[in-house]
Amino acid sequence: MPRITAATVAEHRANQERVLLDTAHAFLEETGDLPSMRAIAERAGLARSSVYHYFGSREELLNALVRDIFPKWTMRVTTAMAAEEEPSRRILAYAVANVELVHEGAHAVGSALATLTPSEALDEQATRMHRLIQEPLIKTLEELKVQDPEGVSGLINALVHASTRSLESGSTLGAALSNLATVIEPMADQMRRRARS
């Protein structure tokens, strides 16, 4: 049993899990890959065997990272959209928030997930996450009376993915966001005019 360094066992466990999650995320941001449990333990200042008291495998740790980051990602996107009163402006807010999160390193977890052997649990979790993140965009498109909100949402997300690829290829955040605005703003303005006609 690891030495307790908090007032309660539950608090100690939560603290250690937080350290391991932060350490794993730092590795992902630096290298784009989740290293061995030994490497994570060493950087976190724990014995390798101690890590397994909290996460039974790399896959379990990565799943925990997804559960940790997803609510923050969703909150960031929904907050950015809610700040825009005009529905058409929410479309660009959605795209910008997602690209900024990628730029800040949050996307590293998703990239690492893709390197794992696909499992039903991971696939379900990824599908559920993408759906929940897209829901406010789909609702905005419905509010703008877009004929196929889900289809258009997919096209907007394709633009977001293209922007993230440009970041990974060396584009600056400013250039990526400027390109997004160049494409999305005229489209969103047209949606707004149609919704009002």
Residues 4 and 75 placed together within one structural domain of the fold: no
| CA–CA distances in Å: residue 171 to residues 36, 160, 183 | 31, 14, 17
Residues 172 and 119 placed together within one structural domain of the fold: yes
**Predicted pLDDT of residue 89:** 96
Compute the C-alpha angle 180/181/183, nearest 5°.
70
Residues 52 and 82 placed together within one structural domain of the fold: no
Instruction: Please state, in angstroms and rounded to a whole number, the distance separating the CA atoms of residues 64 and 58.
Output: 10
Whole-prediction pTM: 0.74
How large is the average pLDDT for residues 3-22?
78
**To the nearest whole percent, how much of the chain has pLDDT over 70?**
85
pLDDT digits (tens, 9 = 90+) for 120-171: 555 566 667 777 888 999 999 999 999 999 999 999 999 998 998 898 889 9
**Predicted pLDDT of residue 123:** 59
**Predicted pLDDT of residue 5:** 60
The 10 Å Cβ neighbour count of residue 85 is 7
How large is the average pLDDT for residues 36-65?
86
**Segment among 54-63, 91-100, 111-120 with least mean pLDDT:** 111-120
Residues 81 and 112 placed together within one structural domain of the fold: yes
The 10 Å Cβ neighbour count of residue 87 is 19
**Predicted pLDDT of residue 88:** 94
Residues 186 and 121 placed together within one structural domain of the fold: yes
How many folded domains does the chain comprise? 2
Phi-psi region of 170 (alpha: psi -120 to 50; beta: other; left: phi over 0): left
Instruction: Please state, in angstroms and rounded to a whole number, the distance separating the CA atoms of residues 133 and 94.
Output: 9
Domain ranges, residue 14: 1-56
Residues 160 and 123 placed together within one structural domain of the fold: yes
| CA–CA distances in Å: residue 136 to residues 6, 10, 170 | 40, 35, 30
pLDDT digits (tens, 9 = 90+) for 83-96: 999 999 999 999 99
The 10 Å Cβ neighbour count of residue 37 is 22
Residues 133 and 63 placed together within one structural domain of the fold: yes
Residues 103 and 190 placed together within one structural domain of the fold: yes
Residue 1 has pLDDT above 50, yes or no: no
Instruction: Please state, in angstroms and rounded to a whole number, the distance separating the CA atoms of residues 52 and 87.
Output: 47
Q: Residue 73 corresponds to which tokens in the numbers above?
A: 């990602």
